[in-house]
Amino acid sequence: MKRAFKYRFYPTQAQAADLSRTFGCVRKVYNLALAARTEAWTLRQERISYNATSAMLTAWKKTEPLAYLNEVPAVPLQQALRHLQQAFNNFFARRTNYPRFKSRKRSRSSAEYTASAFRFRGGELTLAKMVEPLRIVWSRPLPQCAKPSTVTVSRDRAGRWFVSLLCEDPAVQPLPVTDAVTGIDAGLDHLLTLSSGQKITNPRHERRDRVRLARVHRGLSRKAEGSANREKARRRVAKVCARVADRRRDHLHKITTRLVRENQTIVIEDLTVRNMLKNHALARAISDAAWGEFRTMLEYKAQWYGRRLIVVDRWFPSSKLCSNCGAVRDTMPLHVRTWTCACGATHDRDVNAARNILAAGLAVSACGADVRPQREPSRRRRSVTKQERSRVTVGISVL
């Protein structure tokens, strides 16, 4: 099983300049190829493949305005074209929207190197067209005799540099089979409620740093546009946001790993987080809970360790259904945390929902239905809009 190991590193000034230049060239090639493919389809109804964009890249390097593309390694530029091809494949498969142009300020700064563009020997990683190896902080050991097949270098909004090494991890093996099963109800007062009655507290990482985040945002708003002080203030904001995101991700990793190790079958509810965020009274708390990231972690960890993840339909009335007699209440406002059914059973709202989710998941599984963890297909494929046609001309000017 291939697994990515991510580490922080500290580049020299020369390395930082080279990598920043590579990030810019990768973004430029991606945007040029996207503009060419969009223009070909809009004007001539012609589809351009990856091979055609690769030939275009060769021609672009020979022109005087784009001669600087020869100063960076060729592999990250080719990988950018492959990423664009994958973006179009996802679009045609109705998994995502039409690809968008990369922005210098908003897009992720990263470059991907394949095996021919780096050297990994004796625990030292040297990228193409660099003399010195990267100064990596090895926070955890790589698997023995690991040979990275792909290396991805990135820089986040806070100015931190990371390198991700993709290699085979023999430690990822199916865990021993167990009879334990659990249903999970996601919430805000408690992050997760298990069918066993256990409740996992919601740490509310964003709320803990809300005062600090407001302070640095006020400092950012007082700085002049385009000034060096504004860039420093923006980085301070990014550092606070990165701190919140890191703590949230670490907490979710610990929870999902424990759930996967302890249970053979896990049943969750298919939540439409994107639609739930339209509730402005709860959007901030829902974003801080990160239910989507929690599900993503459960999916790939269940696949790694041979566990089963069952996703129950979002319209299943888990909160309004009595787990004792099966009666369904007409309404269940959010402020109602405990309720008593006509059969006499008193339910905790979240525990009752978790038990109903577990029962529904096991029932579907017993009937032999498709219980693979699939995302909701709300992002439909659509035709190229007028706004996207305008990107052909407007996008080229901002590349």
Output 36 or 379, whichever has higher pLDDT. Answer: 36
Annotated active-site residue in 269, 288, 299, 388:
269
Annotated active-site residue in 39, 112, 350, 388:
350
Q: What confidence tier does 174 reach under pLDDT thresholds 50, 70, 90?
A: very high
Quick one: pLDDT at residue 230?
94
Annotated active-site residue in 18, 39, 112, 185:
185
The predicted-structure confidence for 138-158, as pLDDT tens digits, reads as follows 999 998 888 999 999 999 999
Percent of the chain with pLDDT over 70: 91
The predicted-structure confidence for 70-88, as pLDDT tens digits, reads as follows 999 999 999 999 999 999 9
269 carries an active-site annotation: yes
- pTM for the full predicted model: 0.83
Cα–Cα distance, 316 to 336 (Å, whole number): 18
Res. 222: pLDDT tops 80: yes
Task: Judge contact between 162 and 4, C-beta under 8 A.
Answer: no
Q: What confidence tier does 398 reach under pLDDT thresholds 50, 70, 90?
A: very low
DSSP 236-252: HHHHHHHHHHHHHHHHH
Closest CA to 166 of 194, 181, 146, 187: 146
350 carries an active-site annotation: yes
Q: The tokens of 258 are what?
A: 């424990």
Q: Which residues contact 327 (CB under 8 A, 6 or more apart)?
A: 321, 341, 342, 343
Quick one: pLDDT at residue 366?
67
Quick one: pLDDT at residue 274?
87
Percent of the chain with pLDDT over 90: 69
Task: Judge contact between 149 and 118, C-beta under 8 A.
Answer: no
Res. 245: pLDDT tops 90: yes
Closest CA to 11 of 22, 3, 26: 22
DSSP 251-310: HHHHHHHHHHHH-SEEEEE---HHHHTT-TTTHHHHHHHTHHHHHHHHHHHHHHTT-EEE
Report in angstroms the alpha-carbon separations of 262 from 37, 186, 395: 48, 18, 50
Report in angstroms the alpha-carbon separations of 95 from 41, 88, 90, 98, 376: 20, 10, 5, 10, 9
Quick one: pLDDT at residue 367?
65
348 DSSP β-pair partners? 338
The predicted-structure confidence for 307-364, as pLDDT tens digits, reads as follows 999 999 888 888 888 888 888 888 888 888 888 888 888 888 899 999 999 998 888 7
